[in-house]
Amino acid sequence: MKIISVVGARPNFMKIAPFIRAIESYNATSDNFIDHCLVHTGQHYDDRMSQAFFEQLDIPEADINLGVGSGSHAEQVGYTMIEFEKVLRSRQPDWVVIVGDVNAILACSVAAKKENILCCHIEAGLRSGDMTMPEEINRLVADRISDLLLTPDRISSENLLNEGIPGHKIRFTGNIMIDTLEHSRNKAQRMRIEDIISANSVNGFRTRFNGFSESGYVLMTLHRPSNVDRKEVLEPIVRFIMDEVCSEMPVIWTIHPRTRKMMHSFGLLDEVMSNNNLIMLEPLGYLEMLKLNMYARAIMTDSGGLQEESTVLGTPCLTFRWNTERPVTLQEHGGTSKLVGNSIDLIRKEFLTALKKSRNPVIPELWDGHTAERCLQAIIDYKTINAGNSLLKVKEYGRS
Ligand code: UD1
C-alpha cells in the first residue's frame, strides 16, 4: 500500500509524527510493506515554525516540499493543488492522509478526490459553526469528500452523522496530538524554564527581570485573524495584559509572525517589548511550549491545539474566541477551557477565577497516546469494511 501524508503548517507536525511512527512499527513487523511519502506544502517555512518541529519530534525530512509559502488563501490553496496534483500523478498513491484543519487539507483532499484517490482525514468532524473562520471551511470541504473520517471525540462523530455522512466512513480513534504529548512529556519535563526564556527571548528580559516569584506566570499565544488583524480588537487585549495581568505576575507571550507584524503596524510592539513584566518569546519548539504549559498558572490563547493540551495537563485555559470546534475541552464538558471571546470584562472575570483554581488534568476518552495505531489500522481495514458496505448496498438495491 502506498500512502502520501500531508503537512503544511505548524499544528500539523505534532499530528503527523505519531502516524509516521505507527507506519514504521507496522513495517518492522508486517510482510505488507507500507510505502510512505511525506509531503510538506511549505505554508509554514520559517525554521521556528517548521524545521524545529521536524527535529524535536524526529519527523523524517519531507520527501517533497511544494514550497507554496505565504499568500492569500486562494493563492495558498491554488498553488498547493497545482503542485500536489503533479505529485499524485507521478506517485500514484492508494491513500492521501490529511491532518487537522489548515489550508493543506482543503487543497489536498480536493486534488486527491479529483484524481480518484482515497482520502483519509485525521481529526475529522470538528465544527465551530463559524464560517468566518478559514479552518471551518477547510474542515467542511475535506470531511464532505474524504472516504475515511477519523474523529478525536464522540461529539465530532455525531457532527458528521448529523451532516449526513454515512456511519461506515467514520471511526472514533481519539486525539492523535495527545500521542505526541505523551511521547514528549518526560523530555519536556527535563527542560529548565529559565533556559527556554533566555534562548528564545525577543526583548532581552534578562537584564530587567529578576526571576519568577511564587505567583508563577501566565502563558499567552494569539494569532487568529479575528483577534490580531484589527487594531480596535488587539489593542484593548494588549492593554489589559499590560495593565492588569502583568501587574499580578509575569506574562510569557510567544509571538506568532502574523501577530508580530500586526503589532508593529499598529505601533504597539515597542511598548509591549519594553514592559518589565512581559516576556516576549519567539515562536517556541514543541517541547518548550509543553514545558511552559505544564507550569503556567493559566494560559490565554486562541490556538486550537493548546485548548486540548491544557485540558490534558490541567492548566486553566482562557480561550480568546466566541466558539470552539473542540467542546470536549470546555469546563462544562469536564475540560479546563473557558470561552472569553475578546470581551475584556469576561477575560478579567475568568482570569481572576482561574487564579483561584488548582491544576486539574482531564483525559477525555481515547486521548490515551495510542490514536496513531488506531488510525493506521482503520486505513488498513478500510477495504474489507468498504467491500462489505458495497455488498450491502447492492443487496438493498436488488431488493427494491
Ligand atoms: C495557519 C493556519 C491556522 C493555524 C496556524 C498556526 C490556515 C488557514 N491557518 O495560520 O489554522 O492555527 O497556521 O500557526 O491554514 N508567516 C511567517 N513565517 C512562516 C509562516 C507564516 O512569517 O513560517 C507569516 C506569513 O507571512 C503571514 C502570517 O505569518 O503573514 C500568517 O501565516 P499563514 O500561514 O497565512 O496563516 P497562520 O495565521 O499562520
Note the pLDDT tens digit of each residue in 193-245.
Answer: 999 999 999 976 544 555 566 669 999 999 999 999 999 999 999 999 999 99
Query: In this structure, are 189 and 133 located in the same domain?
Result: no
* Distance of CA 44 from the midpoint of ligand 1 (Å): 6
* Cell matching residue 247: 501587574
CA atoms within a 13 Å half-sphere pointing along the CA-CB vector of 81: 15
pLDDT tens for residues 90-129?
999 999 999 999 999 999 999 999 999 999 999 999 999 9
Position 245 in a domain: yes
Percent of the chain with pLDDT over 70: 94
Atom 17 in ligand 1: residue holding the nearest Cα:
257
Considering the domain architecture, whether residues 74 and 117 belong to the same structural domain is answered as: yes
Q: How many CA atoms lie within 13 A of 1 on its CB side?
A: 23
Q: What is the spatial distance between Cα 21 and Cα 24, in angstroms, rounded to a whole number?
A: 5
Say yes or no: 80 and 8 in one domain: yes
| Residue 44 in contact with ligand 1 by CB distance below 6 A | yes
- The x, y and z cell numbers of residue 282, run together, are 519567539
**pLDDT score recorded for residue 276:** 87
> Does residue 137's CB lie within 6 angstroms of at least one atom of ligand 1?
no
Q: What are phi and psi of 120, to 5 degrees?
A: -120, 130
Residue 64's DSSP bridge partners are 39
* Best residue for ligand 1 mutational test, from 44, 105, 224, 320 (most atoms within 8 Å of Cβ): 44
Same domain, 23 and 170: yes
Within-domain flag for 61: yes
User: Between the CA of residue 113 and those of 9, 17, 110, 365, what are the distances in Å?
Assistant: 22, 24, 5, 31
**35 assigned to some structural domain:** yes
Coil, strand or helix at 52: helix
DSSP 113-153: HHTT-EEEEETTT-----TTSHHHHHHHHHHHH-SEEEESS
Question: Do 302 and 266 belong together in one domain?
Answer: yes
Q: What is the DSSP letter of 167?
A: G
How would residue 400 be classed by pLDDT, with cut points 50, 70 and 90? very low
| 264 is an active site residue | no
Domain that holds residue 147: 2-175+366-396
| Contact 43 CB / ligand 1 (< 6 Å) | yes
Nearest CA to ligand 1 atom 30: 258
Domain identity same for 145 and 21: yes
How would DSSP label each residue in 196-239? HHHHHBSS-GGGT-----TT--EEE----HHHHS-HHHHHHHHH
Residue reference for cell 501577530: 259
Q: Return the closest-CA partner of residue 346 out of 324, 322, 326, 327.
A: 322
pTM of the model: 0.95
- Answer yes or no: are the C-beta atoms of 18 and 52 closer than 8 Å: no
Same domain assignment for residues 157 and 13: yes
Is the CB of 10 within 6 Å of ligand 1?
yes
Q: If you measure from the C-alpha of residue 191 to the centroid of ligand 1, how many angstroms do you get, rounded to a whole number? A: 27
pLDDT digits (tens, 9 = 90+) for 144-168: 999 999 999 999 999 999 999 999 9
Q: Are 318 and 340 in contact (CB under 8 A)?
A: yes
| Ligand 1 within 6 A of CB of 263 | no
127 touches ligand 1 (CB under 6 Å): no
The CATH number given to whatever domain includes residue 141 is: 3.40.50.2000
Question: Which of 15, 41, 43, 132 is the pocket-test mutation for ligand 1 (most atoms within 8 Å of CB)?
Answer: 43
- The CA distance from 98 to 121, in Å, is 5
212 CB under 6 A from ligand 1? no
Looking up cell 510567544, which residue turns up?
Answer: 254
Pair 203, 139 in one domain: no
Q: Are residues 201 and 336 in the same domain?
A: yes
Domain count, the chain: 2
Q: Which residue, judged by its Cα, is nearest atom 11 of ligand 1?
A: 102
- Asked if 200 and 322 sit in the same domain, the reply is yes
Residue 360 lies in a domain: no
Separation CA 338–CA 350 (nearest Å):
8
Among residues 36, 223, 256, 370, which one is catalytic?
223
